[in-house]
Structure 1
């Protein structure tokens, strides 16, 4: 297994990729990052599944901060962080579960929870 420091850098880079418009609007790119079983509890309150993302996940202008990893096993890691939505001026707490399978990390679950601070 890679060191915790390099794992943290790698998973943060993957999360930041998911904020980029060219990734969020591309089925090809999303397929590289999201597991077939992927689902999300969105900050909007909606539940989304990978097969519902035919047109991508929409463009956003968000800033990621306070990124941390919480390894659950050698192949599964929970990540937590904060997102600031620059358009809505809204903070949210985020968590994702990443699983290492077939030589690559893929996101299996994501949750966004709006916060007042």
Structure 2
């Protein structure tokens, strides 16, 4: 289960769909299933990870799945919000805690088909736990 707090909903259906897709990729069930996670990643997926590493599509879903315990500590998400940059293109911003490590995240999602979104870029920047 993904813990959610202080999210901002969206009146824009495209932003709402991208937010739902982002939450799915953060769920332990999705993260533990390489095929399921892979369906949310665009073939040109690229990430600058909070670890400082640069990550591409090839092998990402398998690496995440092998390191995910579906019964482990849930991911905490705070202040998820998004903006539509263009038709079928959404940017999301939020703060996340994964295994005690906090990071600010930005992801870019593009609509691959009606109701189907794929992440093509993610950026994670380490941060301290929120103080509020």
TM-score with structure 2 length normalisation? Answer: 0.74
d(CA) in 1 for partners of 2:125, 2:61: 24
Q: CA deviation at 1:75?
A: 1.2
d(CA) in 2 for partners of 1:43, 1:91: 9
1:24 maps to what in 2? 31
Q: Is the 8 A contact 1:64 1:83 kept in 2?
A: yes
Q: CA deviation at 1:54?
A: 5.5
Q: Give matches, 1:73-84, under 5 Å.
A: 73-84=86-97
Unpaired runs of 5+ residues, structure 1, are: none
Unpaired runs of 5+ residues, structure 2, are: 1-9
Q: CA deviation at 1:69?
A: 0.8
Cα RMSD for the two superposed structures? 2.0
d(CA) in 2 for partners of 1:17, 1:54: 13
Q: 1 or 2 for the larger relative contact order (CA 8 Å, sep ≥6)?
A: 2
